[in-house]
Amino acid sequence: MHAVLRGISEEQAGVSPAPGRWSVLECLEHITFVEGRFLERLQAPPAVAPPPPDQSKEERLAHMVVDRSSPAQAPEIARPSGRFNSLAQALEAFNQARTQTIKYAAETGDRVYSACWEHPRFGVLNGGEILVLIANHARRHGEQIREVKAALAAKQ
């Protein structure tokens, strides 16, 4: 995420490139919120039996999440609300969320596959698949931030 944000000023971070499009700060707020939310799901007791590990499913999920050719609308709860006032504040929150996710994955190891959550779009996922979603969700919005940067540069 740090590389994607390189060259973005505080002023640019809060600018939406067009009506209905998120600013860099809004993208970071969304990424951070979703990562925390997914981590909560990983840590909750599973309501159903998790599906077995499936590397091909993980690869398909990674591709589907990053693919920006298929627009997805964030649910109301995950839409930005102006929580961050600066790029530094947003990046610090993202770093904290990512550190917690990495810590969880490292401490849990292969037991992560016993976690389970039914995602509204992707169905029943095991914990490994949820980690794939977390990582690739950030990548998806990293691409969105690159698009915002390009749109703002084109306006100058």
pLDDT for residue 76: 95
pTM: 0.94
pLDDT at 59: 97
From CA 30, how far away is CA 81, in angstroms rounded? Answer: 9
Write down the residue that tokens 């949820």 correspond to. 130
Q: Is the pLDDT of residue 8 over 90?
A: yes
Cα–Cα distance for residue pair 46/126, rounded to 1 Å: 9
Position 156 pLDDT exceeds 80: no
CA angle in degrees (0–180, nearest 5) for 86-22-13 = 30
- What pLDDT is recorded for position 155? 83
The pLDDT tens digits for 28-87 are: 999 999 999 999 999 998 888 999 999 999 999 999 999 999 888 899 999 999 999 999
